[in-house]
Structure 1
Amino acid sequence: MRALEEPDQQSESLSISEKVGCGPSPYDENVAFHESPFCKKHKAPLFLPSPTEERETRDPAPPVYFPSVGLLVKYGPEVTLVEGQSLLLIRKTLSPVLPVPEMYGWCKDDGQVFIYIELMDSITFEKSWETIVEGQKVSICQQLRHMVNAWRSLKQAFSPPFIIPRLVHVCYGPNQHVQDKPSHPYRSSLPDHVLIVFTHADLHPSNIILSSRSNPHVIAIIDWHQSGW
């Protein structure tokens, strides 16, 4: 186990954390949030499994689960700082309307990003679908509507707002020329002038965590690695 180093506090740029008052800068590559309940419970400074330990622990592949301490470690070629930054922003600005896992920290090692997140040890909406009644499904969907409206209310710090691409793939660019990108068959049905809003981008039932009680409700939305404007 090793401790993540405290980030440099002298950065001149205005970070998300400085805007919402959450401590270390989320723009640094190595961050640990020492004021988190997880840190206080396990004694500061915050010690987290090293990238080497996580690579040795994975079975058969990441993410790596540490249920005894309620920790989930995500890493790999598709993991970026975006998920950690999004969780940090949402938890500080939209809680408790929009419940998300707590972010404990992240680091970069050998070209890979490792993010340390609260393990949500409960059932997903996907796995609950066949066992819950229609009224409960409607209630959960109504809760989700409020949550979607909440994250769509987030404002960019730039004017005019712009779309921030999160994924790079041959299907959607970047392309050297506009004509290189094929037109979507339903593009003509979409308006050209709409608001640019923050979105989750993967609100699948498997990413909706429910309480395990007889009257289930949403306790967390997970998997924010595709989120953005």
Structure 2
Amino acid sequence: MEYVRGETLGDRWDSLTDADKTCVCDDLRQIITSLRRVEQDPNDTFIGSLNRQRLLDYVLEDRPGSGPFATIKQFNDWFSRLPWLPFPNHESFQDPWRASLPDTGEIKLTHGDLHRGNIIVSSTGPPRVLAVVDWAHCGWYPDYWEYCKAAYTSSYKGEWRNRWVPMFLEPWVEVHETFADYIQAMGAI
């Protein structure tokens, strides 16, 4: 671990021009693209923390059975049941949203908490991304998870979420709507 001199993107954001913001998003796209190129052993894929243990995402970590999971479908089945666990007869509940979570796709290395407070940029001159910090939620997740979590940490109608995040993360807008319904139903707002 090392100290990185700079300031959070959140602290500097309002003083940046649109051109500066675009440069920051370009830096982030390169960083995220590199991160997502890291691959698991193709003979041992899973969804879970880096050391093949339970998920450490604060939305999920205290939930029963939080991994690891062998497939995206297993993860989605588990995630989609979480809001209903406190209710009697939850096994018989017909979930209205489950079909909206894609069971196909790729498992990707994911930061899991990308927001402006976790992005360190240069303090002077044109902004450059110096570091992405707070890797506590990092792990192997379905490819849609990084976007859903980034959208979750920002204002629904905010410019960051709707204009800038799609410049560095593939938008999964419809999946995020389902994700948000589950998160709200779990009370993890």
TM score, norm. by length of structure 1: 0.43
Whole-Å Cα distance in 1 between the matches of residues 11 and 96 of structure 2?
Answer: 33
Give the Cα separation in 2 of the matches to 1:215 and 1:161: 40
Per the TM alignment, residue 180 of structure 1 is displaced from its structure 2 partner at its CA by 5.6
**Amino acid in the other structure paired with 1:166:** L
Counterpart of 1:218? 129
| 1:10-58 Cα distance to aligned partner (Å, 9 max, x none) | xxxxxxxxxxxxxxxxxxxxxxxxxxxxxxxxxxxxxxxxxxxxxxxxx
Which structure's residues are more often strand, by fraction? 1
Q: Which runs of 5+ in 2 are unaligned?
A: 49-53, 67-76, 85-94, 141-189
Q: Which runs of 5+ in 1 are unaligned?
A: 1-116
Q: Would you say 1:181 and 2:72 are equivalent positions?
A: no
Moved more, 124-133 or 157-166: 157-166
* Larger relative contact order (Cα-Cα within 8 Å, sequence gap ≥ 6): 2
Give the 3-state SS of the residue equivalent to 2:23 in structure 1.
Answer: helix
Of the two, which has the highest radius of gyration? 1
Alignment partner, residue 17 of structure 1? none
Q: Distance in 2 between matches of 1:131 and 1:186?
A: 40
**Cα distance in structure 2, aligned partners of 1:209 and 1:152:** 20
Deviation at 1:187, TM superposition (A): 4.0
Alignment of 1:13-32 (within 5 A): none
Sort the Cα spacing of 1:220 and 1:180 in 2 relative to 1 into closer, same or farther, 3 A. closer
What displacement does 1:204 show?
A: 1.0
Is 1:120 the counterpart of 2:4? The answer is yes
CA distance in 2 between counterparts of 1:218 and 1:133 reads 15
* CA shift in 2, pair 1:121/1:185, >3 Å: farther
Map Cα deviations across residues 130-166 of structure 1 (whole Å, 9 max, x no partner).
Answer: 1111110011111111111111110113514110132
Task: Mark the CA change 1:157 to 1:213 in structure 2 (over 3 Å): closer, same or farther.
Answer: same
Identity %: 34
Shift of residue 181, structure 1, vs aligned partner: 2.8
User: Counterparts in 2 of 1:202-213, with a 5 A limit?
Assistant: 202-213=113-124
The aligned counterpart of 1:136 is 20
Opposite residue 147 of structure 1, the aligned amino acid is: I
Residue 185 (structure 1) shift = 6.5
| Cα RMSD (Å) | 2.5
Q: TM-score, normalised by structure 2?
A: 0.52
Query: Relative to structure 1, is the Cα distance of residues 160 and 193 closer, same or farther in structure 2, using a 3 angstrom cutoff?
Result: farther
Range with greater deviation from structure 2 (117-126 or 194-203): 117-126
After superposition, residues 56-75 of structure 1 pair within 5 angstroms as none
Distance 1:180 1:223 in 2: 28
- The one-letter code matched in structure 1 to 2:83 is P
Q: Distance in 2 between matches of 1:187 and 1:205?
A: 30
Structure 2 CA distance for aligned equivalents of residues 185 and 149 of structure 1 = 33
